[in-house]
Amino acid sequence: MTGDAGDGRRTFYALWPDATAVRNLAALAARCARPVHPADLHLTVVFVGAVSPVVAACLPPLAAGLGCPALDLEFDRIEYWPGSGAQVLLPRRVPAQLRVLHDELAGRLVAAGVTSAATGREFRPHVTLSRAGAAGDYAGPVLPALRWRADALCVAVSHPVRDGPHYRRVLTVPLG
């Protein structure tokens, strides 16, 4: 089951930070060129890509009954990714349960016949702080490390606008 939405909207499963983490993430992003809007800061668990409405309708049920506990995330460094021009916040270590959540969702997509844009790519959990970084922008440690407890998984859709995509959560499933 594949298909292109044709309108630039892309779908994904993500963890959204709580209000305290949003404030802390937004403070880091504000130091970057072209920061991501605070409401759009998130960690993508599985990127699906542009899909047809038929495929989009099957995504929320795939998130049900995962049995994943709430996740304690800790981010301690910023990197510049030259391929995308993004400045990203990376975790000190990737919690095993986050990898399990990623693998379970990716497996459910395959079983449902949905081709994910992330198929075959290494899972590199991160929070994009800026989409228009440059090689000379800050990269290095974040002290103290930024922590957040992710207690819900979201299905989200991007909406392209002039200043970069904005995201709308279409479903939120509690973890734990």
The mean per-residue pLDDT over the stretch 34-44 comes to 94
Greater model confidence, 134 or 82? 82
- The dihedral built from the CA positions of residue 85, 159, 94 and 24, taken in this order, carries a sign that is positive
- What is the model's pLDDT at position 19? 94
Going from N- to C-terminal start, the domains of the chain cover 11-73+94-120+149-174
Task: Tell me the C-alpha distance between 135 and 86, whole Å.
Answer: 10
- What is the model's pLDDT at position 135? 65
Please give the CATH number for the structural domain made up of 11-73+94-120+149-174: 3.90.1140.10
Kindly report the pTM of this predicted structure. Answer: 0.90
pLDDT, the chain, mean = 88
With pLDDT > 70 as the criterion, what percentage of the chain qualifies? 92
The pLDDT tens digits for 55-92 are 888 899 999 889 899 999 999 999 988 888 899 999 98
- What is the model's pLDDT at position 176? 80
Best mean pLDDT range from 2-6, 20-24, 83-87: 20-24
pLDDT of residue 1 exceeding 60, the answer is no
User: Which residues have a Cβ under 8 Å from the Cβ of 46 and sit 6 or more positions away?
Assistant: 12, 13, 102, 105, 106, 109, 116, 118
